[in-house]
Amino acid sequence: MKELNTGDKISLLNGGFVTIKKELGRGGQGIVYLVDMNGQPKALKWYHNSLDQAFYNNLASNVMNGAPSPAFLWPERITERQKGSFGYVMALRPQNYYEFGNFLLAKKSFKSFQAMMATAMKICNGFMMLHRFGYSYQDLNDGNFFIDPNTGDVLICDNDNVMPQGEKSGIMGKARYMAPEIVAGGIPDKYSDRFSLSVILFMLFYANHPFEGAKVVACPCMTEAYEKKFYGSEAVFIYDPNNKTNLPVRGIHQNVIRRWPVMPAELRETFIREFSPEMLKNPQSRMIEQNWGKLIASLRDKLVVCPHCGEETFIDEAKPQCMNCGRDVDVSKKLKLGLRTLLLTNGTRLFIDFDNTPDARVAINPQDRNMLLLQNLTKDKWTAETPSGKVKSVEPNEFMPVKQGIKIGFNAQYKGEIIINNQ
Amino acid sequence: MRCFDFHCQGESHKATDKVCQDYSYSHIDENGLAIAVVCDGHGGKHYFRSDVGARFATEIIAKNVREFVSNIDEAMFVGQPFTQQAAIQTEIDRQDFRKEKPIDIAFRQLFGSIIGQWQQWIEQHASDNPLTEKENEHVEEQYKKEFLSGYKLERIYGCTLMAYVSTPKYWFAFHLGDGKLISFDQEAQWNEPVIWDDRCFLNKTTSICDSDALNEFRYTYQGDGGFPVAVFLGSDGMDDSFGEETNLVNFYVRVAKSLVKDGFDATFADVKETLPVLSKRGSQDDMSIACVYNEEALKEALPKFILWQIAITKAGILKVNSKILEATDRRNELEEKVLTLEKDKIALRYAQNDIDRAYTEKQQLVKKMNILLEEYYGKDYVLYQDEVGERPKERQQVWRMDDHPFRVHLVWVENKNNRIEL
Amino acid sequence: MSLLDETVSVPRRTMTLFFMIDTSGSMAGSKIGAVNDAVVNVLPMLDEISITNPDAEIKVAALEFSTGCNWLYNEPKLASEFVWQDVQANGLTSLGAACEELENKLSRSKGFMQSASGSFAPAIILLSDGAPTDNFEAGLAKLQGNNWFKSAIKVAIAIGDDADKEVLAKFTGTNEAVFTVHNIDALKQIIRVVAVTSSQIGSKSSAAGDTTKQDQVISEVQNAVDNIDGAEVATKVDGSSYADDWD
């Protein structure tokens, strides 16, 4: 394969062409160039080796179908075969997005838990949509995710290996993200993707791999044989309550050692269940994306701003102390939303649905500092019903008081009620 | 390839009956694998078993490096240019994020195995070896409690570590903490191949017992055929004795020269005798050194080593020359004035002192220079000389006419030809 | 030892003690007189420590600051060779400029920390009676980025009630290292105690720090201060710095 030069024109399938500007980077599979497409800057990934027709066809069809969700930096156009190879055009990755690997090594950190939750939610949604479209991921690794540490926005890249479920693309992802049955040689599908999702979420929250503990540290050099063992046949969750042979090690797994007790119990329980030996052997019973979404929403519901020290904290209703300053946080005011309970404290933003745009803001009434207000941050009108039966509407950006018994209809899908527990 | 290593108790440890907390190791395996390791256990009262920690770290490094080298895919190294990886915190400080390559992941695995196994060994040691009589007597209550509770046991055994490893196809070095790893190339140019960690400053250091130890490893590797001619590992007892780094490098040059001229056995014996003396004169601290070198290449580079020494001695001479000239100017200026201010009288005294001191230093340097010149050029070498000279020029006081008639005053003049000038 | 021949130098290690002296107008009279007297008398004591200490020799550098700032000599001098010249008091209080000047000299390549200092952090004693009149925060910020400063033993002596103790505490990093004096005798005594203690502790080889040298100096000086009439130690800071509930 010849490498491309500045000025080269590459023709696209179904018409048009792009002009090469310069090289942006290169990896195992190909080289990425900055190109111009009708005056727009784009990126072109050009493969080192001409891959087979099946791959080409799959890529072309992915282009046709479009991205399953905005989380994916998806191939926009595929080139014609030329100069001994081919490639695809995609949007440029925006500045200030960093590879997930940087977060794992703590070179970069989330600005806030809120941002971390946003990333988790978007990845979940992305996977859910991917599977709805009938795809499975195939080549998942930490190089695929680019995250903005301030907002938590995430882009999933390198989507050229996305395949319909049940097909094996031949590109094997790192064993770390592969379900044990795939490490053993099986074919990736949505169940093994769910495993990968659980690993990614674990790594997002704890910056540590769920199977990397004392066992993995035993060998100075990770060989294929060890990999098959540690991530496959003999995988043990680091915090498996019944198997303490793989606990995290001081000095090496510091991130998870610090964060495991700090993040809510709900999260711990979920992971202990998902990575238990029984679950590992049972791909079909793995938690579906929707339920991960519910879990993340539930965490967000408990994430408030401490009125004393101003820092974010998760609140356990049973023991409502701030994680940072230790002082009690008033959890008497809540919004019940179906099975969910959202805590209302000044400064907190509420996420009603499962996207990453806050839907409401909690503020203090300047005239009566004992009363909280709720601001409508959505584009829709809310309908509120008071305990005495009066119906009021809350336009976008308007405020409403937080008073016992008020029912709020946020939209057709979500309806909540304010509950105030008086001490 | 040859190697040696040595570690000895420091002067201050002798005084307080504290064992040597440094440990060193070096070996050339039959397959051409060379390993040199130096570990320095922390000296404070808290770290009362750091000698054990240093020894364990050394042994584990040697063992794990061997396993690493025999299992790793050589292709990862072959062809790689000289590549350095700083400690993670250094990368964050510089905002210079390198993308992780498979070789970096492999190194992380190696380092993780060193920390993890070290942790196991010391915990086992603590449980197999309860407090001794001596420890019960001398160790402070709070540290004894820590030991018994098992909380943060690693601190009690804490140490720094550094290693140099070479195979016929590639070499790598890694470092956690203070101490210095110095390499020499064929041109006798020296280098510190592993990036420094600024958290190691004065007597503070990063350590294997830190909670973030894995991220504190820094390392360098090369697989494109470039190899250092000699590598010296020294604990901070060494570099603290010499102060400025060029003094330490100069000492290693001296050792390198000796290896070529006097041979391995004589030099090694010398090193063993010298280090305790150095500790006494210098850092007072435990001393350890490890060295790996290529015999033929070192021999070839010998003249260049002497030239390097000549160059730095020359630089030193130039520096002291300018000190002499500056102080002389200062003194002469003050002498011109009629001194009434106490301040000026003191300044004059200081100027004269500085001149005297500078000349003493000059004499030492010239002596050094002549030794080196003879070494390089042989018996027919030319003694070093320059304009400024090695001793102050002879002066004497003479009377000079004032502007005002019938008034004279004393001035100093150089006594060039032993005649009095008017 | 043929390896330690004339071509190899093993220098003696140095610990440098810095005096930063406020010579603004308000120090005029008995205050500056006391400072001059105290320093002159402490130098021989420092010399004794230097001679009897096998670990390091002690050098002294003095920076006076008022409207501008000025080093008494162009390099640190051995305590025995340091001839103290009385300083006069006159002008404003440019502590910010003094901090910047100190930061310049706390460097190995172009400052005062050249001579093979091995592993000894310097000791810095700041004497002042009033508030800074220039941009102190900026000067201190620059100083706080300097590694030598970070590891240095820092002590401040506040002269009289007008002294801005908060400023001094910012300099030393803790208000426990700020010692206040109310009369001339106490001033002299405390200068002596602080200088001697800092030099003793500063010039000892210590190990990977538990108690920092600064803390050791603070606790020894605190003990000594109990016996000095007219000198006081700052009280411990209240740990909780959070405002009360806003409701």
Nearest to B254 among C7, C11, C207 (CB): C7
Nearest to B43 among C11, C147, C207 (CB): C207
Q: CA A225, CA A373: separation in Å to the nearest integer?
A: 59
pLDDT category of residue B265 using cuts at 50, 70 and 90:
very high
Instruction: Please answer whether residues B386 and B317 qualify as being in contact, where contact means their C-beta atoms are separated by less than 8 angstroms.
Output: yes
Residue of C57, C119, C212 to mutate, interface with B, max B Cβ within 10 Å: C119
**DSSP three-state, residue A156:** strand
Residue C26 domain-assigned?
Answer: yes
Residue A311 domain-assigned?
Answer: no
Residue B275 has pLDDT above 60, yes or no: yes
Interface B-C, measured as beta-carbon pairs within 8 A, has a size of: 113
CATH code of residue A352: 2.60.200.20
Q: Pick from A214, A260, A207: which is nearest to A236 by CA?
A: A214
State residue C237's pLDDT score: 35
Residue C150's closest chain B neighbor by CA? B201
Residue A178 has pLDDT above 80, yes or no: yes
Count of structural domains within chain A: 3
Q: How far is CA B402 from CA B83, B331, B406, in A?
A: 71, 21, 8
Instruction: Please answer whether residues B110 and B165 qualify as being in contact, where contact means their C-beta atoms are separated by less than 8 angstroms.
Output: no
State residue A226's pLDDT score: 87
Q: Pick from B229, B219, B46, B23: which is nearest to B118 by CA?
A: B23
Residue of C3, C73, C201, C215 to mutate, interface with B, max B Cβ within 10 Å: C3
- Plot region of B225 (φ>0 → left; ψ -120 to 50 → alpha; else → beta): left
Residue type present at position C23? T
| pLDDT tens digits, one per residue of B234-245 | 999 999 888 888
Residue A308 domain-assigned?
Answer: no
Q: Do A254 and B212 touch (CB under 8 A)?
A: yes
CB atoms within 10 A of CB A384: 21
Q: Do C206 and B247 touch (CB under 8 A)?
A: no
State residue C244's pLDDT score: 24
Provide, as residue numbers in chain B, all residues whose Cβ is less than 8 Å from the Cβ of A105.
88, 100, 215
Q: CA A187, CA A191: separation in Å to the nearest integer?
A: 10
Provide, as residue numbers in chain C, all residues whose Cβ is less than 8 Å from the Cβ of A370.
247
| pLDDT tens digits, one per residue of A3-17 | 888 888 999 988 899
**In this complex, is the C-beta atom of A218 within 8 Å of any C-beta atom belonging to chain B?**
yes
DSSP C127: E
Nearest to B242 among C10, C205, C209 (CB): C10
State residue C119's pLDDT score: 53
Using the structure block, give the residue that is written with the tokens 């996305």: A162
State residue B158's pLDDT score: 95
Q: Do B247 and C10 touch (CB under 8 A)?
A: yes
Q: CA B84, CA B98: separation in Å to the nearest integer?
A: 10
Q: What is the CA radius of gyration of chain B?
A: 28
pLDDT category of residue B144 using cuts at 50, 70 and 90:
very high
CB atoms within 10 A of CB B102: 12
Instruction: Please answer whether residues B212 and A258 qualify as being in contact, where contact means their C-beta atoms are separated by less than 8 angstroms.
Output: no
Residue A109's closest chain B neighbor by CA? B92
Phi, psi (degrees; rounded to nearest 5) at B31: -80, 10
Q: CA C81, CA C85: separation in Å to the nearest integer?
A: 12
Residue C241's closest chain A neighbor by CA? A309
Provide, as residue numbers in chain B, all residues whose Cβ is less than 8 Å from the Cβ of C5.
254, 371
Name residues whose C-beta falls within 8 Å of residue A103's C-beta, 6 or more positions apart in sequence: A109, A110, A147, A149, A204, A207
CB atoms within 10 A of CB A320: 18
Interface A-C, measured as beta-carbon pairs within 8 A, has a size of: 11
Provide, as residue numbers in chain B, all residues whose Cβ is less than 8 Å from the Cβ of A102.
97
- Same domain? For A110 and A175 the reply is yes
State residue C205's pLDDT score: 56
Of all residues in chain A, the percent with pLDDT exceeding 90 is: 44
Is the pLDDT higher at B323 or at B343? B323
Residue B70 has pLDDT above 90, yes or no: yes
Question: Containing domain of residue A231, as a range?
Answer: 98-293
CATH code of residue A113: 1.10.510.10
| pLDDT tens digits, one per residue of A85-112 | 899 999 998 888 998 989 988 899 999 9
CATH code of residue C39: 3.40.50.410
Nearest to A105 among B64, B88, B213 (CB): B88
Nearest to B68 among A102, A107, A221 (CB): A221
Residue A341 domain-assigned?
Answer: yes
State residue A269's pLDDT score: 96
Using the structure block, give the residue that is written with the tokens 């960093």: A98
Q: What is the pTM of this model?
A: 0.86
Residue C238 domain-assigned?
Answer: no
| pLDDT tens digits, one per residue of A45-90 | 999 887 888 888 888 988 998 898 888 999 999 999 888 889 999 9
* Bridge partner residues of B396 (DSSP): B413
Residue A72 domain-assigned?
Answer: yes
Q: Do A309 and C246 touch (CB under 8 A)?
A: no
Residue A423 has pLDDT above 70, yes or no: no
- Same domain? For A103 and A222 the reply is yes
Question: How far apart are the CA of B220 and the nearest CA of chain C, in angstroms?
Answer: 25
CB atoms within 10 A of CB B402: 10
**In this complex, is the C-beta atom of B367 within 8 Å of any C-beta atom belonging to chain C?**
yes
Q: CA A131, CA A126: separation in Å to the nearest integer?
A: 9
Give the β-pairing of C14-22 and C57-65: parallel
- Same domain? For A285 and A143 the reply is yes
Tell me how long chain A is. 423
Residue A325 domain-assigned?
Answer: no
- Same domain? For A385 and A282 the reply is no
The token duo for C82 is: 């340091």
Count of structural domains within chain C: 1
Mean pLDDT computed over B201-218: 91
Instruction: Please answer whether residues A142 and A123 qualify as being in contact, where contact means their C-beta atoms are separated by less than 8 angstroms.
Output: no
SS3 labels along A23-76: EEEECCCEEEEEEEECCEEEEEEEECCCCCHHHHHHHHHHHHHCCCCCCECCCC
Tell me how long chain B is. 422
Q: Pick from B107, B166, B111: which is nearest to B291 by CA?
A: B166
Which of A243, A269, A293 marks a domain boundary? A293
Residue of A308, A370, A423 to mutate, interface with C, max C Cβ within 10 Å: A308
Name residues whose C-beta falls within 8 Å of residue B216's C-beta, 6 or more positions apart in sequence: B87, B88, B89, B176, B177, B197, B199, B206, B207, B210
Is the pLDDT higher at B166 or at B12? B166
Inter-helix orientation angle A190-206/A265-274, to 10°: 140
Instruction: Please answer whether residues C203 and C53 qualify as being in contact, where contact means their C-beta atoms are separated by less than 8 angstroms.
Output: yes
Mean pLDDT computed over B199-227: 93
Instruction: Please answer whether residues A264 and A319 qualify as being in contact, where contact means their C-beta atoms are separated by less than 8 angstroms.
Output: no
Residue B197 has pLDDT above 80, yes or no: yes
* Bridge partner residues of A342 (DSSP): A335
Question: Containing domain of residue C26, as a range?
Answer: 11-233
**In this complex, is the C-beta atom of A97 within 8 Å of any C-beta atom belonging to chain B?**
no
The token duo for C137 is: 């925060």
Mean pLDDT computed over A182-190: 84
Residue C83 domain-assigned?
Answer: yes
SS3 labels along A319-343: ECECCCCCCECCCCEEEEECCEEEE
- Same domain? For A229 and A285 the reply is yes
Q: CA A34, CA A43: separation in Å to the nearest integer?
A: 5
Q: Do C242 and A308 touch (CB under 8 A)?
A: yes
CATH superfamily, domain at B2-293: PPM-type phosphatase domain (3.60.40.10)
Residue of B99, B157, B207 to mutate, interface with A, max A Cβ within 10 Å: B99
Question: How far apart are the CA of C113 and the nearest CA of chain B, in angstroms?
Answer: 11
**In this complex, is the C-beta atom of B86 within 8 Å of any C-beta atom belonging to chain A?**
no
Q: CA B13, CA C71: separation in Å to the nearest integer?
A: 39
Question: How far apart are the CA of A309 and the nearest CA of chain C, in angstroms?
Answer: 7
Residue of C1, C77, C153 to mutate, interface with B, max B Cβ within 10 Å: C1
Q: What is the CA radius of gyration of chain C?
A: 18
Instruction: Please answer whether residues A199 and A176 qualify as being in contact, where contact means their C-beta atoms are separated by less than 8 angstroms.
Output: yes
Q: Residue ranges per domain, chain B?
A: 2-293, 310-391, 393-422
Mean pLDDT computed over B7-36: 94
Instruction: Please answer whether residues B285 and B9 qualify as being in contact, where contact means their C-beta atoms are separated by less than 8 angstroms.
Output: no
Interface A-B, measured as beta-carbon pairs within 8 A, has a size of: 75
pLDDT less than 50: residues of chain C = 117, 207-209, 235-247
Burial (CB count within 10 angstroms: exposed 0-12, middle 13-18, buried 19+), residue B213: buried
Q: CA A327, CA A307: separation in Å to the nearest integer?
A: 9
Residue A325's closest chain C neighbor by CA? C242
- Plot region of C44 (φ>0 → left; ψ -120 to 50 → alpha; else → beta): alpha
Residue C150 domain-assigned?
Answer: yes
Q: CA A366, CA A343: separation in Å to the nearest integer?
A: 20
Residue B304 belongs to what H/E stretch? Answer: helix B295-336
Name residues whose C-beta falls within 8 Å of residue B137's C-beta, 6 or more positions apart in sequence: none
Nearest to B203 among C3, C11, C119 (CB): C119
Instruction: Please answer whether residues A121 and A63 qualify as being in contact, where contact means their C-beta atoms are separated by less than 8 angstroms.
Output: no
Residue of C4, C5, C7 to mutate, interface with B, max B Cβ within 10 Å: C7
User: Residues 205..224 of B with a Cβ closer than 8 Å to C: which?
Assistant: 205, 207
Using the CB atoms, write b or e for A271-286: b if 16+ within 10 Å. beebbbeebbeebeeb
Residue C95 domain-assigned?
Answer: yes
**DSSP three-state, residue A282:** coil
- Please say whether the dihedral angle defined by the alpha carbons of residues A278, A281, A287 and A292, taken in this order, is positive or negative: positive
- Same domain? For A14 and A136 the reply is no
- Same domain? For A148 and A243 the reply is yes
Q: CA B391, CA B355: separation in Å to the nearest integer?
A: 10
State chain A's mean pLDDT as an integer: 88
Residue A414 domain-assigned?
Answer: yes
Half-sphere exposure of A276 (CA within 13 A, CB side): 13
Q: CA B371, CA A219: separation in Å to the nearest integer?
A: 53
Residue A318 has pLDDT above 50, yes or no: yes
Tell me how long chain C is. 247
* Bridge partner residues of A166 (DSSP): none
Residue A324's closest chain C neighbor by CA? C242
Q: How far is CA A203 from CA A73, A178, A212, B83, C245, in A?
A: 21, 14, 11, 29, 37
Helices marked H in A260-374 — which ranges? 265-274, 277-281, 289-301
SS3 labels along A375-389: EECCCCCEEEECCCC
pLDDT category of residue B31 using cuts at 50, 70 and 90:
very high
Residue B337 has pLDDT above 70, yes or no: yes
State chain B's mean pLDDT as an integer: 91
**In this complex, is the C-beta atom of B159 within 8 Å of any C-beta atom belonging to chain C?**
no
**In this complex, is the C-beta atom of B124 within 8 Å of any C-beta atom belonging to chain A?**
no
Residue C206 domain-assigned?
Answer: yes
Which of A57, A73, A90 marks a domain boundary? A90
Q: CA A81, CA A221: separation in Å to the nearest integer?
A: 41
Instruction: Please answer whether residues C119 and B203 qualify as being in contact, where contact means their C-beta atoms are separated by less than 8 angstroms.
Output: yes
Nearest to C247 among A309, A327, A369 (CB): A369
